[in-house]
Amino acid sequence: MKTQPAPLAAASATLGAGWDAAPVAAVAVAADGRVLDINRAARAVLPAVEPGDQLSVGAPGWLSAADSVVRSGEPVGDVAGVAGSQSFDAHPVAAADGSVMWWLEETTRLRASQEALRLERESTAFLHAASDALLSSLNASRTMEVAAELAVSRLADAAWVIAPVARGVHQAVQCLHGERPRALTLRIRAEDIPGLAEALQGFPPVPSRWIDPAGLEPWIVPDGFGEAGPMVVTSLPGHGVPAGALVLLRRADRVAFSEDEEAVARLFASRVGAALAAARLFEQQSAITDVLTSQLLPPALRRSRGIDFAGVYRPAQETARLGGDFYDVHETEDGGTLALLGDVCGQGLEAAVLTGKIRNTMQALLPLAGDHGRVLALLNAALIGAGETRFASLVLASALREDDGLRLRLTRAGHLPPLVVRADGRVEELLGRGPVVGVLDEPEFETLEVRLEPGETCLLYTDGVVEARGGPMGGELFGEERLHLLLSECGGLPAEAVVERVVMLATQWLEGPEHDDIAVLAITAPRVWS
């Protein structure tokens, strides 16, 4: 039986009956730190606090510490803490006699919802940042690295992103918290990791699996990780395509994945899956595009049969890389070469496909290269016979070494005349007659001959050069006069330097990014060296 100290009765008397029944917990503390009184609500949450004892005996540390501060006359800020399973905000009211009345406002549910809101915000921010990072790349390997790095930034101590099996192996990325991701090739059986095979089926989505870390395959725990604790395997659902699996690992001393965390992991996994599926789709499509376009791109040119060639091609549609201009250089049976350059009406892929047909046809007609008129007549017939509604203009140029120079035979089919740049800078236009191919039934062509001395160049080009619109004052055509003028400074230059200079000045002339296809081909007689 405890003896009741004297001041208690006095205090109760002052506080009155309403105090004890108040719905808010309250504790009265005397100036010397002894508990004067405690109401019913407070007794329920602070069962160890007894009137007459020092407050510090039965109250939680945060409350008695704040109490000493208040009684010493110092200001005290927000006071909050936990008692039992509940949380409280504590509000002190100091009296003139140095005693303090503590009102304890219960905030358990408020705190819980605040905490939930914080976690939710963090998760949203994480998922948002994850989406940004994942969307940045269309490369599957990089997307896997980004995904693994993101996973360890929030969800786990270590993570694996494992791709579905391809050619007997799984491409995978492993990442430890705070480290850079590592790409690995796994020769594993997915069935050996519980949940992995199912997750790798990707679609229909299988639920995350909680797995007991005991008895795991040793490779799944990264070197230097320590003892593995909770682990979760999540499917990465793609667009109906299995995109892979995400494996999250925590150390043994870490808490297990909560329900909310598991939900975040699933949302994260669906973003990773979508990004990976898009990246794989892009890779497949661009691989196909590369194979197809490589057949249509102009060839890289170099010295052939002792003759220098250089070409530059700038298609109008930069994203397509292809257009309606074309050139080619072939070696012929007479020991020389046949170069061709032309322009199909139209731009873009449809035009490019026709350039491919023309180039193939020309290759087949190479044995007849000695007779340009016949080659062009056959090409003309082939285009009309195939029901092709488009037409093309082109120039054929056969070159053969002759002494230290070149003998050129040139035939024009409705194309801009070739230009010869003499060593002294004179520029000559070669005006043979001949219609475009693909229109007339029986076209006739005129073949001209010209000799190039060492250092002299014959330039073939398409109308994109002279029809470049712009200039310093705007709205002006580049024009043939300007082209002739610039070529007059190119006597004796190597083939590459001539085409580079022509295309450079023509493209710099342009006002904006818009232009027609531009193709330029130089045939140059090498200079003879002393």
Chain residues binding other proteins by CB under 8 A are: 129, 132-133, 136-139, 141-142, 146, 180, 279, 282-283, 286, 312, 314, 318-319, 321, 455, 470-475, 485, 489-494, 496-497, 500-501, 504, 507, 511, 527, 529
Instruction: State the chain's maximal CA–CA distance in angstroms.
Output: 132
Residue given tokens 């694996």 in the structure block:
160
CA-to-CA dists, residue 17 to 105, 144, 444, 481, angstroms: 20, 69, 122, 110
- Measured from the Cβ of residue 390, the count of other Cβ atoms closer than 10 Å reads 17
Amino acid at 351: A
CA-CA distance, 348 to 9, in Å (whole number)?
A: 99
Contact 104, 42 (CB under 8 A): yes
In the bound state with other proteins, the residue whose beta carbon lies nearer, of 39 and 457, is 457
The answer for residues whose C-beta is within 8 angstroms of residue 140's C-beta and 6 or more apart is: 163, 276, 279, 280, 283
DSSP state of 220: G
Rounded least distance, CB 145 to other proteins, Å: 9
Task: Please give the order of strands across the beta sheet that includes 419-421.
Answer: 308-314, 518-524, 457-461, 419-421, 427-429
In the bound state with other proteins, the residue whose beta carbon lies nearer, of 367 and 472, is 472
In the bound state with other proteins, the residue whose beta carbon lies nearer, of 329 and 490, is 490
In the bound state with other proteins, the residue whose beta carbon lies nearer, of 24 and 125, is 125
CA-CA distance, 29 to 231, in Å (whole number)?
A: 51
Rounded least distance, CB 271 to other proteins, Å: 14
Rounded least distance, CB 404 to other proteins, Å: 14
Rounded least distance, CB 57 to other proteins, Å: 54
CA-CA distance, 315 to 518, in Å (whole number)?
A: 6
In the bound state with other proteins, the residue whose beta carbon lies nearer, of 238 and 443, is 238
CA-CA distance, 257 to 263, in Å (whole number)?
A: 10
Contact 458, 521 (CB under 8 A): no
- Write out the DSSP string of 123-176: HHHHHHHHHHHHHT---HHHHHHHHHHHHHHHT-SEEEEEPPPBTTBEEEEEEE
In the bound state with other proteins, the residue whose beta carbon lies nearer, of 129 and 252, is 129
Rounded least distance, CB 310 to other proteins, Å: 9
In the bound state with other proteins, the residue whose beta carbon lies nearer, of 37 and 325, is 325
Tokens read off for 75: 């200001």
Rounded least distance, CB 257 to other proteins, Å: 25
Contact 441, 423 (CB under 8 A): no
Rounded least distance, CB 267 to other proteins, Å: 18
Contact 184, 194 (CB under 8 A): no
In the bound state with other proteins, the residue whose beta carbon lies nearer, of 209 and 314, is 314
Contact 45, 83 (CB under 8 A): yes
Asked if the peptide bond before residue 204 counts as cis, ω within 30 degrees of 0, the response is yes
Rounded least distance, CB 489 to other proteins, Å: 5
In the bound state with other proteins, the residue whose beta carbon lies nearer, of 2 and 180, is 180
In the bound state with other proteins, the residue whose beta carbon lies nearer, of 117 and 504, is 504
In the bound state with other proteins, the residue whose beta carbon lies nearer, of 62 and 126, is 126
Tokens read off for 522: 């130089």
Rounded least distance, CB 138 to other proteins, Å: 4
Sign of the CA dihedral running 296, 302, 308, 310: positive
In the bound state with other proteins, the residue whose beta carbon lies nearer, of 54 and 141, is 141
Rounded least distance, CB 253 to other proteins, Å: 30
Amino acid at 112: A
Rounded least distance, CB 494 to other proteins, Å: 4
In the bound state with other proteins, the residue whose beta carbon lies nearer, of 48 and 485, is 485
Rounded least distance, CB 115 to other proteins, Å: 27
DSSP alpha helices (H): ranges in 330-416?
348-364, 372-385
Amino acid at 51: P
Residues 111-130 as b or e (16 or more Cβ within 10 Å = b): beeeeeeeeeeebeebbeeb
Rounded least distance, CB 220 to other proteins, Å: 25
Tokens read off for 83: 């008692």
